Structure 1
Amino acid sequence: MTPESNDIRERPSPNFGTRGEAPNVRPINMLVLHYTGMQSAEAALDRLCDPEAKVSSHYVVEEDGTIWRLVPELARAFHAGISYWQGDRDLNYVSIGIEIVNPGHEWGYRPFPEPQMAAVEALSRDITTRYRIPAHRIVGHSDIAPDRKTDPGELFDWPRLARAGVGLWPPPGAELARQRGRGVGPVQRIAAFSDLARIGYSVVPGDEHIALAAFQRRFRPERWDGLLDAETSARLHELRMAVEAARAAAEMSRRPGFRFN
């Protein structure tokens, strides 16, 4: 699925800008997934194309798998808002945004249907391949704005995308087995919040539970209360290790003459 694909329909939005002024145009190195959080696909498309709303995304994926392009990929869509990831702000400048049609938590949150997930998977895989977006730079809106967003939410099938090579979902390892059933003391809390920050989240002292709940929505969706327990601590550790490995691989791939075997 490429930008020229006949499977993509056009619904141009006036809400976009540049990614910077030459020669300082920012490179695309992130993919951000959202849900629309509105009562219908048409309502979401209308809002994303309303010049008064000043919001947009590059793509919208309906529940039946229909894909709409609203903003050209090389332009800056207005989807991330106030956000932070791995030291970066102004994430609209470096990201592509996909809005996934779902009523969201306000209007009756529900699972994402198979045709929709298949379309999101194919589109995301194409985008991340073409722009060589590393796995640790594929995020949900709640990852980059945990104090105000909960999308795409705990029902979104992140493991499926990871199996397709889009994003991270570390399998349970020795750390999870070791930590299950244990308590969490001061040392473990310090290590866990350090892991949370090293993964990429904005961790505000005194409000660590906000970023922790966002992490849980994505990586421990069966429990997202913002409370640190041994299993969450173990998953944080395992994801931090996966992020560091992904960063190293991305850095290696940028070296002159490097080729994957």
Structure 2
Amino acid sequence: MSHPVLRVTFILLFAIVMAGCATGLPRNPLADWQPSPNHEPRRARAIVLHHTAMDSAEGALHTLQTENSGGPVSAHYLIGDDGRVYQLVSEQQRAWHAGGSRWAGISDLNSWSIGIELDNDGAEPFSEAQIRSLLVLLEDITGRLGIQRHMVLAHGDVAPTKKDDPSALFPWQRLADAGFGLWQREHLSAPPAGFDPWLAMRLLGYDLRDRSAALAAFHRRYRGRDERTWLPGDDAILYDLQQQMLQMQ
């Protein structure tokens, strides 16, 4: 049996923690609570898009509410093939959707992003109803949370060595036409002498520790294919995207 004094101490500490939970976020019972108004909820800086690689929204919901073979997984939102939008995790909380990831030199995208799963098996086109709902949701989230509209990323962008979602069939140009993400402009200029395409990819945010994987992610998003070597015209696309990024700074 535990010592009576220790037992009473534990009960008191537990009661203090529970009292803190009843009035707001948990508080450390070892410290004197002297609240400051100078704070805000942790704010997302990016949105990461996924496809579920499953046969139905119902099956995806079950997985996102339990776990898969790799352990627990979740996302803030799931959009069904019929356009129905489900929310699974509060935007103020960290969902487990991006895994080991990196963008613009920052790791752990789970901590600073909103995850949106799209009901899609990875081999089929995305439905019109689904894309319309996604555009409405992106407009809402970026507006409320102050996320820069170009910071709509693919899971394959931020984890290129492990993931390829959403697939090469995802309509990134459609999103860009609505003002989300980046897309090359219609009239491209030849890059100047000395232009470094790898430096441009790094500026966009790609992690270049595995350059072939990063290049595949770039091609999947901007060229609709998974090539791991340079293609004709890549330098002009990257130069244009680089110029767009520099104009935002």
Normalising by structure 2, we get a TM-score of 0.78
**Structure 2: any 5+ residue segments left out of the alignment?**
1-24, 29-35
CA contact (8 A) 1:136 1:167 kept: yes
Equivalent pair of 1:128/1:166 in contact (CA under 8 Å): no
Q: What is the deviation of 1:134? A: 1.2
Per-residue Cα deviation, 1:87-113 (whole angstroms, up to 9, x for no partner): 111111111110000012xxxx10001
Please name the residue that 1:202 is paired with.
207
Distance 1:228 1:147 in 2: 17
Q: Which amino acid aligns with 2:245?
A: V
Paired amino acid for 1:241: Q
Residue 168 of structure 1: how far off its partner (Å): 1.5
% identity of equivalent residues: 39
1:119 pairs with one of 130, 133, 147: 133
Alignment of 1:68 with 2:86, yes or no, is yes
Cα displacement (A) at 1:244: 2.3
Structure 1 residue 193: Cα displacement:
0.9
Q: Which amino acid aligns with 1:115?
A: A
Conserved 8 A contact 2:55-2:121: yes
The one of 115, 134, 141 equivalent to 1:97 is 115
Equivalent-residue separation in structure 1 for 2:167 and 2:244 (angstroms): 21
- Is 1:31 matched up with 2:53? no
Aligned residue pair count: 211
Q: Give 1:51 deviation, angstroms.
A: 5.5
User: Is the partner of 1:135 in helix, strand or coil?
Assistant: coil
Task: Give the 3 Å change call, closer, same or farther, for CA 26–244 of structure 1 in structure 2.
Answer: farther
Counterpart AA for 1:166: F
Say which SS state the counterpart of residue 153 (structure 2) adopts.
Answer: strand
Residue pair 2:75, 2:115 contacting (<8 A) in 1 also: yes
Partner of 1:218: 221
Q: Could you tell me how far apart the structure 2 residues matched to 1:84 and 1:197 are?
A: 11
Q: 1:243 aligns with which of 212, 227, 245?
A: 245
Over the residues paired in the alignment, what is the CA RMSD in angstroms? Answer: 2.3
**CA gap 1:193/1:119 in 2 versus in 1, 3 angstroms:** same
Aligned to 1:12: none
Secondary structure of 1:230's partner? coil
Do the aligned residues in 2 keep the contact of 1:59 with 1:68 (CA within 8 Å)?
A: yes
Gaps of 5+ in 1: 1-17, 180-184, 249-261
Q: 1:41 aligns with which of 57, 60, 68?
A: 57
Aligned to 1:147: 161
**Using the alignment, how far apart are the partners of 2:216 and 2:77 within structure 1?**
27
- The structure 1 segments of at least 4 consecutive aligned residues displaced by more than 4 Å after TM superposition are 21-25
Distance (Å, rounded) in 2 between the aligned partners of 1:44 and 1:173: 40
* TM-score, normalised via structure 1 length: 0.75
Give me the whole-angstrom Cα distance separating, in 1, the residues matched to 2:216 and 2:167: 11
CA distance in 2, matches of 1:92, 1:174: 35
Q: Please say if residues 111 and 156 of structure 1, whose CA atoms lie closer than 8 Å, have aligned partners that are also in contact.
A: yes
- Tell me if the contact between 1:173 and 1:238 (Cα under 8 Å) persists in the aligned partners: no
Asked if structure 1 preserves the Cα contact closer than 8 Å seen for 2:78 and 2:118, the reply is yes
